[in-house]
């Protein structure tokens, strides 16, 4: 955990995340003609009601004051620097996703990512977080074999990756694993809908839960995870009405990615939202900045200045030796110490 000189931040806890469930008045789910909302909470209900599709009605409304239950904000991060920036921005949860295979390693999918890699990136990310809860993704084949394997892998992530909870992909078929991991005292985040580790089974990165049967399966999967003890569930790439139905039926929060606005929270991949990605990004990935373009510009300016002999200028060089090319022994010791201590302030400023 970093220190920036101010009072230490308090970490977001699992019970706090678990409590960030917006509750819905299920009684009022019935097809109804659109009505003009009279209050803020009715307006919110109407907006969500539109997303609820066949399970919704404009009359659907939150039973609590919207302001009292804020949506959960989750982002991915893979290193100390990014984690620290996300934490400073006040996100609630940081996921060290197996998306690191694609984002950091340049792979075509997440399948080759290992437990050791998730743990390595987890340690770096955890050092950057003063407040946000840190979740570690369980990679492909680190839990599918058996519940024993699942508990052992989750345990290794907690011990070696400095995580506070783990996430795994899959529904009913993984419920027993989730149950056993939770029984071992490890909080679990579920993940249903498009589960990227099954990319080949799906025939590509495709929207899931289309059609009544597929939608029912997503709901059943999410319910099974809830019953097994998951404290929140990621819903990826499913139609918004299906996400709304899952969200309304569960008592644990849902966190959507490409699942519409009715979820209890949202997650995005950090490089997508920062506009660092070159090439195609998924439809749901809103770009809040264009840092990729800014980075290319900065690299270009640096290259030009080096080639033109403009950088480094005197302001980026250490004090000269004062004419003598040979440093006195004491002086040279001082200088070595300064260079050897990476966090010595005078080295950096």
Distance CA 53, CA 313 (A): 62
Nearer Cβ to ligand KIV (60/242): 242
**Nearest distance from C-beta of residue 101 to ligand KIV, angstroms:** 8
Distance CA 294, CA 53 (A): 40
Stretch that binds ligand KIV, among 91-99, 180-188, 211-219, 339-347 (CB under 6 A): 91-99
Nearer Cβ to ligand KIV (59/263): 263
Binding mask 1-40 toward ligand KIV (x if CB under 6 A, else -) reads ----------------------------------------
Is 315 one of the catalytic residues? no
Dihedral pair phi/psi, residue 203, rounded to 5°: 75, 25
Distance CA 300, CA 278 (A): 16
Member of 257, 259, 262, 270 binding ligand KIV (CB under 6 A): 257
Residue 187 near ligand KIV by CB under 6 A: no
Member of 60, 234, 235, 276 binding ligand KIV (CB under 6 A): 234
Residue 76 near ligand KIV by CB under 6 A: yes
Stretch that binds ligand KIV, among 8-16, 95-103, 139-147, 289-297 (CB under 6 A): 95-103
Member of 42, 46, 99, 197 binding ligand KIV (CB under 6 A): 99
Here the tokens at position 203 are 């025939």
Distance CA 240, CA 16 (A): 25
Distance CA 158, CA 154 (A): 6
**Nearest distance from C-beta of residue 184 to ligand KIV, angstroms:** 22
Return the residues of window 260-289 that contact ligand KIV according to CB under 6 A.
267, 269
Determine contact, residues 45/59, Cβ cutoff 8 Å: yes
Dihedral pair phi/psi, residue 81, rounded to 5°: -60, -50
Distance CA 319, CA 244 (A): 63
Distance CA 64, CA 237 (A): 28
Residue 254 near ligand KIV by CB under 6 A: no
Nearer Cβ to ligand KIV (57/257): 257
From the list 70, 236, 290, 334, the catalytic residue is 236
User: Which residues are within 8 A (CB) of 198 and not within 5 positions of it... i.e. 6 or more apart?
Assistant: 169, 170
Determine contact, residues 17/92, Cβ cutoff 8 Å: yes
Stretch that binds ligand KIV, among 80-88, 93-101, 170-178, 275-283 (CB under 6 A): 93-101
Return the residues of window 114-143 that contact ligand KIV according to CB under 6 A.
137
Distance CA 238, CA 214 (A): 10
The count of residues in the chain is 349
Determine contact, residues 88/108, Cβ cutoff 8 Å: no
Residue nearest to ligand KIV (CB): 97
Query: Which residues form the catalytic set?
Result: 236
**Residues that bind ligand KIV in the complex, under the rule CB under 6 A:** 76, 95, 97-99, 137, 234, 236, 257, 267, 269
């Amino acid at each position: 955990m970093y220190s920036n000189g101010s009072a230490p931040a308090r970490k977001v806890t699992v019970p706090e995340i678990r409590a960030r469930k917006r509750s819905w008045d299920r009684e009022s789910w019935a097809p109804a003609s659109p009505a003009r909302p009279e209050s803020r909470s009715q307006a919110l209900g109407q907006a969500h009601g539109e997303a609820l599709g066949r399970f919704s009605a404009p009359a659907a409304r939150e039973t609590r004051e919207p302001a009292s239950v804020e949506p959960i904000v989750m982002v991915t991060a893979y290193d100390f620097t990014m984690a620290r920036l996300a934490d400073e921005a006040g996100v609630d949860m940081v996921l060290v996703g197996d998306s690191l295979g694609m984002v950091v390693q340049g792979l075509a999918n997440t399948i080759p990512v290992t437990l050791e890699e998730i743990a390595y990136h987890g340690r770096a990310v955890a050092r950057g977080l003063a407040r946000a809860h840190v979740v570690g993704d369980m990679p492909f084949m680190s839990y599918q074999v058996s519940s024993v394997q699942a508990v052992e892998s989750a345990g290794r992530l907690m011990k070696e990756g400095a995580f506070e909870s783990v996430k795994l992909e899959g529904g009913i078929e993984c419920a027993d694993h989730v149950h056993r991991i939770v029984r071992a005292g490890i909080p679990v985040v579920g993940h249903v809908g498009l589960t990227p580790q099954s990319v080949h089974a799906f025939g590509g990165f495709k929207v899931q839960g289309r059609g009544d049967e597929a939608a029912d399966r997503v709901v059943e999967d999410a319910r099974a995870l809830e019953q097994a003890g998951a404290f929140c569930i990621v819903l990826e790439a499913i139609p918004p009405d299906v996400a709304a139905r899952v969200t309304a039926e569960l008592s644990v929060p849902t966190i959507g990615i490409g699942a519409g606005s009715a979820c209890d929270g949202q997650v995005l991949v950090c490089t997508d939202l920062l506009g660092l990605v070159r090439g195609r990004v998924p439809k749901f990935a809103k770009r809040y900045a264009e840092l990729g373009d800014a980075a290319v510009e900065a690299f270009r300016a640096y290259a030009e200045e080096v080639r033109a002999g403009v950088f480094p200028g005197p302001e980026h060089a250490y004090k000269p030796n004062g004419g003598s090319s040979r440093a006195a022994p004491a002086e040279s010791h001082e200088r070595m110490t300064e260079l050897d201590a990476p966090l010595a302030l005078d080295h950096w400023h």
